[in-house]
Structure 1
């Protein structure tokens, strides 16, 4: 009994010491939002994985801010690629007093959510939102680490007529902010590069559609040599499969939403080979390639799957936000936001720096095609 009486105060003392140590470590909450349910769940999970890798790496480094140890905690939310759900989870993160937000993936959710973050003074870095409007709203808290639709769609339009020789083009979009935006910019780019190009059809579907026979039958009669689709791979893949079934031999082009490793599974490997051209809203120079390759290899080892699309950009978005906090010697949004606006961070996807709107400076695009069912790089365009 005497031994127990002596041990109880010691146990209490150790507990207090442990609590004191924990309280000395500041907790920094980073929100991540993406669609981890619904048709684009594979892309949302890819982004989520990239965020997790960044948080783990930051904590493994034992980061200090203003000389004090910190621990980064990731708060994961699912927006289902739905604008209403997106604003709901945005408010949830604001209420949780997160220090910053990485997301959203889709333009249709990022744009309405961005006002909620702006009103709360919380910095938001999107790793995938390309709709030009996102950074044109006057919200100084909104940033992106990829090129926007004006560059993405415009470059694809010029490539379609200049390199692929397209003269008769059919355009389909899914009516989302992203789909309409990239399709409109594609048309502008094509017309600018070749004023005489014919847009023989301009059709639309939805981001949940599965049957495209009526649209494609109409398009087939107009004999296009290229079909452009503005939307995500979950719709774009089945659309391409049905194009082939109807005997449409036109080239197929899309933005980053269809430019995924999953596209051959969704459309069929035979449907994509030598037919599909797309662009990812990012890219690295040959000198930067090793850093990106190393990340891709680490991702593959950790998750036993390939990077789908934007996981490296999510990783860099988290790291860039943390770097701004370190420079500001504070994780408080009002204090590190001015440093984020002026940041120069060398990431796995290249140099991260923002212009006065929050767009990435000198944003690159990577053009891809598909060979033997595998996404294959064509060239990087800046």
Structure 2
């Protein structure tokens, strides 16, 4: 048999070794799918932003650990977290940054005021968006790849009015909103249902999501003697507002939506929220379901703190995307959006199935009170 020179044999062996290494590398290669996060990671709402981010990261960690496959290929999910600071202009910049980076999927934004202007950028880029923004206008824009994975102001605002009339036996209510898209939407939906329930709106006032002194508007409200004060806004204003209500001798209860369903409300009220404040979230009571208890325990074990308002929704958002990718046998945003629109996924918060307008079909509303500074679920309906 003819022997090739040593140098030739070494070159052949080196070539074969390289080919084998390439084949082994290809066998272990993974498709990387990026999931963007748009949330307020700085500023006054940063605690909520971190809560959202960590819920998403927890889900992605679990998905990747299980060996996620789509269409027979190994897929690794990667979170690209961006800070929109709860600011509409910054939120649009974040959307453009994610679009330029060819990110196909986004969980967020958290704020309606960010989501509404940013949604145009996401839509133009063909991205799938799963948002908890509650303003009804968001899904009315008709973007085909945008889905609301939380309740909307119509659900929560109407439930607040029904509860005030039927359970609190209120007759006269005052309404305050913070002029954000969320706060205005919640207040508007509350007032519409309140009138249908026979409640009298004795005072309507406005503030901002940066305010700390509410003395002037509360003094005007006090003269109207409402049974309940409804606030469309966030914990950072609700806590100080309650403290000032008490100092002015206002005995009305404070009633709000999901954005004040947080221990921050109690802390910033100096503990006055107990028995004085009620809030509502469009979700099941986590402690009442096995999935909710498991999620809460995992979250606390990972981050050494309890989940806040929307951590479970952002966790579900990642799980919903992964489920849709597998059912569609594709990571193409268009095909994934089609699967989400027609499919059903059972998550921590509830069942994700969507109307033609891309709102969730069924989502119970839970009423919470405060006891010892902690949220206490009272009833779901």
TM-score, length-normalised on structure 1? 0.92
Matched, 1:145 2:149: yes
What does the per-residue CA deviation read over 1:167-193, in whole Å, with 9 as the maximum and x for residues that have no partner? 111110000000000011111121111
Aligned with 2:259: secondary structure?
Answer: coil
| CA apart distance, 1:354 | 0.8
Q: Which residue pairs with 1:170 in the alignment?
A: 174
What is the distance in 1 between the residues matched to 2:269 and 2:376?
A: 16
Aligned with 1:221: secondary structure?
Answer: helix
| Cα distance change of structure 1 residues 149 and 215 upon mapping to structure 2, 3 Å threshold | same
What is the distance in 2 between the residues matched to 1:41 and 1:310?
A: 13
Equivalent residue for 2:91, pick from 80, 83, 86: 86
Q: Which residue pairs with 2:277 in the alignment?
A: 276
Check conservation: 1:173, 1:231, Cα contact below 8 A.
yes
Matched, 1:186 2:207: no
Out of 62-71 and 365-374, give the one that drifted further: 365-374
Q: Which residue pairs with 1:299 in the alignment?
A: 299
What is the distance in 1 between the residues matched to 2:162 and 2:341?
A: 31
What does the per-residue CA deviation read over 1:51-73, in whole Å, with 9 as the maximum and x for residues that have no partner? 00010011011011000001000
Check conservation: 1:31, 1:98, Cα contact below 8 A.
yes
| CA apart distance, 1:324 | 0.9
What is the distance in 2 between the residues matched to 1:248 and 1:21?
A: 69
Superposition pairs of residues 247-258 of structure 1, within 5 angstroms: 247-258=249-260
Check conservation: 2:129, 2:145, Cα contact below 8 A.
yes
Q: Which residue pairs with 1:100 in the alignment?
A: 105
Larger radius of gyration: 2
What does the per-residue CA deviation read over 1:299-325, in whole Å, with 9 as the maximum and x for residues that have no partner? 111111011111011111111111111
Unaligned residue ranges in structure 2 (runs of 5+): 1-9
Matched, 1:352 2:352: yes
Check conservation: 1:158, 1:192, Cα contact below 8 A.
no
Q: Which residue pairs with 1:367 in the alignment?
A: 367
Unaligned residue ranges in structure 1 (runs of 5+): none
Q: Which residue pairs with 1:133 in the alignment?
A: 137
What is the distance in 2 between the residues matched to 1:18 and 1:242?
A: 67
What does the per-residue CA deviation read over 1:98-137, in whole Å, with 9 as the maximum and x for residues that have no partner? 12110011110111111111111111011x2111111111
| Cα distance change of structure 1 residues 38 and 18 upon mapping to structure 2, 3 Å threshold | farther
| CA apart distance, 1:247 | 1.5
Matched, 1:261 2:263: yes
RMSD of aligned Cα (Å): 2.0
What is the distance in 2 between the residues matched to 1:21 and 1:198?
A: 69
What is the distance in 2 between the residues matched to 1:184 and 1:355?
A: 22
Equivalent residue for 1:38, pick from 20, 34, 43: 43
Matched, 1:72 2:77: yes
| Cα distance change of structure 1 residues 11 and 214 upon mapping to structure 2, 3 Å threshold | farther
Matched, 1:56 2:68: no
What is the distance in 2 between the residues matched to 1:285 and 1:180?
A: 28
| CA apart distance, 1:254 | 0.4
Check conservation: 2:257, 2:280, Cα contact below 8 A.
yes
Q: How many residues align?
A: 370
Aligned with 2:258: secondary structure?
Answer: coil
Check conservation: 1:48, 1:311, Cα contact below 8 A.
yes
Check conservation: 1:262, 1:308, Cα contact below 8 A.
no
What is the distance in 2 between the residues matched to 1:371 and 1:40?
A: 23
What is the distance in 1 between the residues matched to 2:333 and 2:46?
A: 29
Aligned with 1:206: secondary structure?
Answer: coil
What is the distance in 2 between the residues matched to 1:31 and 1:129?
A: 16
| CA apart distance, 1:283 | 1.5
Check conservation: 1:170, 1:201, Cα contact below 8 A.
yes
| CA apart distance, 1:21 | 4.7
Check conservation: 1:227, 1:250, Cα contact below 8 A.
yes
TM-score, length-normalised on structure 2? 0.93
Check conservation: 2:194, 2:200, Cα contact below 8 A.
no
